Structure 1
């Protein structure tokens, strides 16, 4: 609270130089009407705690007397809404910025048209906004760094089957007639393979300056620390994903991992998606990297029912957990649980949204 003003009272000068007795005030203090200033205040007015004496005392030495009486007035001022919001503690799991919310509002109309009154259930809002706010968080350009040398007796991770990589040692480096290098790897769990540079990964933890969205990586399996699965790095750590890395495995499974859990492929192909077999997942990753850093994301809440594609048909699910860009759903028919990206084309709402966008593009081109 602030002292808004000080009222100064100026009594008349006494004409006579004669001694006058102290005269008692007969008029009450003038009260300021602050109703206008207080009308917006969330609480009532508070009386002032500063009182001035109720008597005016004249000097007795015969000189002109001047008496100043000050009155403190307390005024409550309502804070602007933005200041009130700034004083409130942040809500938990607040991952989306104000810009995201604005974008979500713009996307709401498109999503509503896309629902087609499916069981009278409202579809989710689909947003497409910058996933990060710093250039080093949004980059998808491979950094121009010198390649690390691959040598005999070096421990690496190598491809044994399409979704199964294992730790092994380079025992020989073979140069083909066309100049390409092949690496002979002896696996720890027995067996040997002759693989290309894009089918081996470093056994060491990658450095942050080596990482970018679209990097080819392999991730250690949680249920077997000796096995690894290939994927594509799809999010760098930011405030929106609790400082974790998102990796899309080649079977379309999204996983959040820490830095020690994944490894960089040694000699990735110019187009990392060439390592992924032709499939809906490859189409999804192509579009995802094209859209980055503005990926489409649906917004679901825990307990919400939805349809998700499984084995070629849409199955009824319920949202169990929402974790940043991914969510866990449970299929009601067999109680199977699965993690899925909130922008996956397996989501019925997202598939319809993308179809609608494709139709709009085709209509504009006609």
Structure 2
């Protein structure tokens, strides 16, 4: 297979162009190669007693099973028997999109095919769902490059890749929302993919959790690079075309046209399948194996609605990345006191818009307080002393504002656009069209561009303490579990029950925008954008309640009656559970019979010493403060 590369002068980025994966190309590729596969690609037919892999839960390993019955009449699901012993021959109904025949394909699997592929780890290996990004060729060691649904990537041998039975015509629709936009952009640019050139021992910055970290290249394997993160001493394989790599990210800001989706003229290069019937299930949860960031109570219950949510306009999304040029770099967010004469925004009430004002004087340094004068005529030039937590400099940040930062952002509706206080839930990235997700203090949420966000001058170390009580628990759980989140998978026109004012309503999904869904309340004739991880959505609420119930039903482990040595309590920040400082002492064997010692001879009378003079003052010994 031929491969064309062109280097740019700005940075080392190569545009990799791959030839078409037509039948003639596949056959010419296979001749004389280690992987000899000929013929046209076809999916295996599913029959009774066929060994399969099934997806029991989204973003979880696929499980081995055996088909018991096929879809018929109005039943559109396969019934399978789960083979692992822990399931005790449990039966389950799955759709074709959740099933893959456990037999390797007889021909090369084309790019953009939905598969379940083996992901190898040091401790264990499991099958996970993903997309074929590269076919086997000489430059990648005759392996498939798989983009897994959870964002990881790996090269996989042909015998470890199994084709999913059904998929949507636009295959990215089957991918979880967190990775959907990346897959769509990749396939729209394929086969001309921009990638950065890297070499072993090269140093660069790599994004993780919305921050840039110093990393070092350990090795390069075709389109992948293994990086070492110096801060936490971990390694990770990353695709060389990922915007998590700083050189590629900076180039995307300077030349967004190179990275924006294009109409793929050579559609034969990317395989597609006929559209299948969708699974009408509202309980399809996108649940990672982590504690969920959900509130204990329904998020909006008891909050005062200050925005006209019935008239919120549809979110305006970026169709290309031209607006990304205005984004600042990633760096430390340094908060300095506002200068005298600076234009600021000041809090009036937690649920009301912030007012424009000007700093007249710094009244106090500890705690930091300002004397401000309101600009609006309705305040009649009123002055007021406000704490730094209630003030934000009216200027866009010079760096990307991190997640869980206290901010003031514009909430847009059809009547007005004003600044409200909230907390950053997501940083700008390719999956959310380069916007911040902001959880506002009154329970609403919206995506906001960088130039419409202002960071609050001062905030508590535990940011949830600065939000209203009604939202505090949700923000705390979101903060503790981020970046792992639990969200429901929703599609347009899908029906789902949604809470409003303490009651459940039948609602319809109007649109989905990254982590948000626009919900229409049919009975109330109103629409609202809701976070897809909110407990106001019935499937999320049920999932959390079941999780809490399982916790309560877990048997309590009885303490052993055998006495154990007393262990002193250490400070919380020091963890000795993985590697204790001192080994547990072994039990001392008790002898059968303790020999009785011989009688000790009584010494002769000891002469009594003379009286010792008593000092005038006896110094009192200080109590030792040293811990044993």
TM-score, length of structure 2 as denominator length: 0.39
Aligned to 2:518: 328
Matched, 1:300 2:490: yes
Q: Is the 8 A contact 1:330 1:336 kept in 2?
A: yes
- CA shift, 1:362, in A, is 2.7
Aligned to 2:283: 124
1:184-195 alignment, distance < 5 Å:
184-189=371-376, 190=379, 191-195=382-386
Alpha-carbon distance, 1:221 to partner? 3.5
1:303–1:320 CA contact under 8 A, matched in 2: yes
Query: 1:80: which partner in 2?
Result: 108
TM-aligned CA deviation for residue 149 of structure 1: 2.9
Tell me, what secondary structure is at the counterpart of 1:149?
Answer: coil
2:535 to 345, 360, 363: 345
**Aligned-residue RMSD, C-alpha:** 3.4
Check whether the contact 2:333–2:399 (CA below 8 A) recurs between aligned residues: no
Identify which of structures 1 and 2 has the higher relative contact order when contacts are C-alpha pairs closer than 8 Å and 6+ apart: 1
- Structure-2 change in CA distance of 1:203 and 1:37 (3 Å): closer
Distance in 1, matches of 2:29 and 2:501, equals: 72
Q: Which residue in the other structure is 1:231 paired with? A: 422
Structure-2 change in CA distance of 1:345 and 1:3 (3 Å)? closer
Question: Secondary structure of 2:545's partner?
Answer: helix
Measured after TM superposition, the shift of residue 270 of structure 1 is 1.6
Question: Compared with structure 1, are the counterparts of its residues 299 and 182 closer, same or farther at alpha carbon in structure 2 (3 Å cutoff)?
Answer: same
Q: Contact 2:445–2:529 (CA<8 Å) still a contact in 1? A: yes
| Structure 1 equivalent of residue 434 of structure 2 | 243
Work out whether residues 167 and 226 of structure 1, in 8 Å CA contact, stay in contact via their aligned partners in 2.
no
Q: 1:208 is paired with a residue of what secondary structure?
A: coil
Measured against aligned partners, the alpha-carbon deviations of 1:245-276 in whole angstroms (never above 9, x if no partner) come to 10111112111111001100011122221121
In 2, are the aligned partners of 1:284 and 1:344 still within 8 Å (CA)?
Answer: no
Distance 1:292 1:154, change over 3 A: same
- Structure with the higher helix share, 1 or 2: 1
8 Å Cα contact 1:174/1:184 also seen in 2: yes
Secondary structure, aligned partner of 1:156: strand
The CA deviation at 1:233 is 0.3
Q: Describe the shift of the 1:169–1:269 C-alpha distance in structure 2 as closer, same or farther (beyond 3 A).
A: same
Within-5 A mapping of 1:49-88:
80-83=108-111, 85=113, 86=133
**Pick from 327, 343, 357: which aligns with 1:168?**
357
Return closer, same or farther for 1:308/1:192 CA change in 2, 3 Å cut-off.
farther
Mapped contact 1:129–1:293 kept (Cα < 8 A): no
Q: What TM-score do you get using the length of structure 1 for normalisation?
A: 0.64
**How far did 1:310 drift?**
0.7
Note the residue ranges of structure 1 that are not aligned, 5 or more in a row. Answer: 6-35, 44-77, 102-120, 131-141
CA distance in 2: counterparts of 1:202 and 1:3, whole angstroms: 61
* Whole-Å separation in 2 of the counterparts to 1:317 and 1:226: 26
Give the equivalent residue in structure 1 for 2:390: 199
Partner of 1:255: 446
Q: Give the match's secondary structure for 1:360.
A: helix
* In 2, Cα distance between equivalents of 1:337 and 1:145: 35
- Name the SS of the counterpart of 1:273 in structure 2: helix
CA distance in 1, matches of 2:462, 2:178: 31
Whether the 8 Å contact between 1:166 and 1:227 is mirrored in structure 2 is no
- Name the counterpart of 2:469: 278
Give SS of 1:161's match. Answer: coil
User: Offset of 1:123 from its aligned partner?
Assistant: 3.1
The answer to whether the 8 Å contact 2:332/2:399 transfers is no
Q: Cα deviation per residue 1:327-351 (whole Å; 9 max; x = unaligned)?
A: 1111111111111001001111111
Q: Residue 81 of structure 1 aligns to a residue in which SS?
A: coil
Q: Distance in 2 between matches of 1:256 and 1:84?
A: 30
Partner Cα separation in structure 2 for residue 143 and residue 160 of structure 1: 31
CA contact (8 A) 2:30 2:37 kept: no
- CA shift digits 1:141-198 (9 cap, x unpaired): x97654323222111111122222121101122238xx42321221211333321101
Change (3 A) 1:358 1:245: same
CA distance in 2, matches of 1:245, 1:145: 15
Contact 2:410 2:448 in 1 (8 A): no
Greater Rg, structure 1 or structure 2?
1
Cross-structure match for 1:149 = 337
C-alpha distance in 2, partners of 1:149/1:4? 66
| 258 and 146 in structure 1: CA distance in 2 versus 1, 3 angstrom threshold | closer
Q: In structure 2, do the counterparts of structure 1 residues 161 and 91 end up closer, same or farther at CA, with 3 Å as the change threshold?
A: same
Describe the superposition over 1:270-305 as per-residue Cα deviations: whole angstroms up to 9, x where unpaired: 2221121211x3222221122211111001121122
Deviates more, 1:230-239 or 1:200-209: 200-209
Pair 1:217–1:308, CA change in 2 (3 A): same
Aligned equivalent of 1:67? none
Cα distance in structure 2, aligned partners of 1:182 and 1:227: 24
Q: Which residue of structure 2 lines up, in the alignment, with residue 46 of structure 1?
A: none
